[in-house]
């Protein structure tokens, strides 16, 4: 494990959230889609199932996406801004079956606020460890999904939407076409 377990989960969840906003598709079209997203990343705590909450979560995505393109100083400015706006106050807590871990806003804070703060806290770890290069954009030419490379040898190139397979298939076809002109 490279980072603390909750840090890794938060980074993966942040990337997953960013990737729900594609250039020509909306991955969070309605409250039900947000419910699925929340369940798939194991979010607990306040969850209102309202259009207002959905809009707040969608609005967070471009701010988080910006982090994948930013240099260190800009990441720091974004992270500090998110923590300040949310009045973050780190506290060790224990809930459900999890061991002690840090929450920087209460569990009854709005979902989008908690998503922002969890992402910001995890990104703060990345900055402190000099590991921002773990944040990458998918290498597939037709894809602009973001990813977090948590591999030991920093070899991850593609997002988990199947781009690695797509790239392998195109490379295979290109080789075949080249050998049978």
Q: Which whole-number Å values give the CA distances from 93 to 2, 46, 126, 155, in the listed order?
A: 22, 16, 22, 35
Give the tokens for residue 180: 């049978």
Give the tokens for residue 19: 């990737």
* Dist. CA 29–CA 59, nearest whole Å: 13
Q: Is residue 159 a contact point for Zn ion (CB under 5 A)?
A: yes
- Selected from 28, 83, 138, 167, the binder of Zn ion by CB under 5 A is 138
Helix extents (H) in the chain: 5-18, 31-40, 51-69, 72-85, 111-128, 163-179
Q: Is residue 147 a contact point for Zn ion (CB under 5 A)?
A: no
Closer to Zn ion at the Cβ: 75 or 145?
Answer: 145
Q: Is residue 64 a contact point for Zn ion (CB under 5 A)?
A: no
Q: Please give the helix or strand (H or E) that residue 52 lies within, else none.
A: helix 51-69
Binding segment (CB under 5 A) for Zn ion, from list 12-20, 121-129, 154-162, 169-177: 154-162
Q: Is residue 140 a contact point for Zn ion (CB under 5 A)?
A: yes
Binding segment (CB under 5 A) for Zn ion, from list 62-70, 83-91, 122-130, 163-171: 163-171
Q: How far apart are CB 19 and Zn ion at their closest, in Å? A: 9
Q: Is residue 57 a contact point for Zn ion (CB under 5 A)?
A: no
Q: Is residue 143 a contact point for Zn ion (CB under 5 A)?
A: yes
Give the tokens for residue 15: 């990337």
Do 73 and 63 meet the contact criterion of CB atoms below 8 Å apart? no
Per-residue x/- track, 89-128, Zn ion (CB under 5 A) = ----------------------------------------
Q: Please give the helix or strand (H or E) that residue 101 lies within, else none.
A: strand 101-103
Binding site for Zn ion (CB under 5 A): 138, 140, 143, 145, 159, 163
């Amino acid at each position: 494990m490279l980072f603390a377990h909750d840090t890794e989960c938060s980074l993966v969840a942040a990337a997953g959230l960013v990737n729900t906003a594609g250039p020509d598709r909306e991955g969070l079209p309605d409250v039900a889609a947000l419910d699925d997203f929340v369940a798939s990343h194991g979010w607990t705590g306040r969850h209102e199932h309202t259009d207002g909450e959905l809009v707040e979560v969608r609005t967070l995505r471009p701010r988080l996406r910006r982090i994948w393109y930013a240099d260190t100083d800009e990441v720091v400015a974004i992270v500090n801004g998110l923590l300040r706006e949310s009045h973050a106050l780190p506290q060790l807590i224990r809930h459900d079956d999890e061991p002690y871990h840090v929450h920087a806003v209460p569990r009854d804070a709005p979902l989008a606020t908690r998503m922002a703060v969890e992402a910001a806290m995890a990104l703060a770890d990345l900055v402190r460890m000099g590991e921002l290069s773990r944040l990458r954009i998918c290498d597939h030419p037709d894809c602009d999904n973001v990813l977090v490379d948590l591999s030991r040898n920093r070899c991850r190139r593609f997002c988990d939407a199947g781009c690695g397979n797509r790239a392998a298939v195109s490379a295979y076809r290109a080789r075949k076409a080249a050998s049978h002109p």
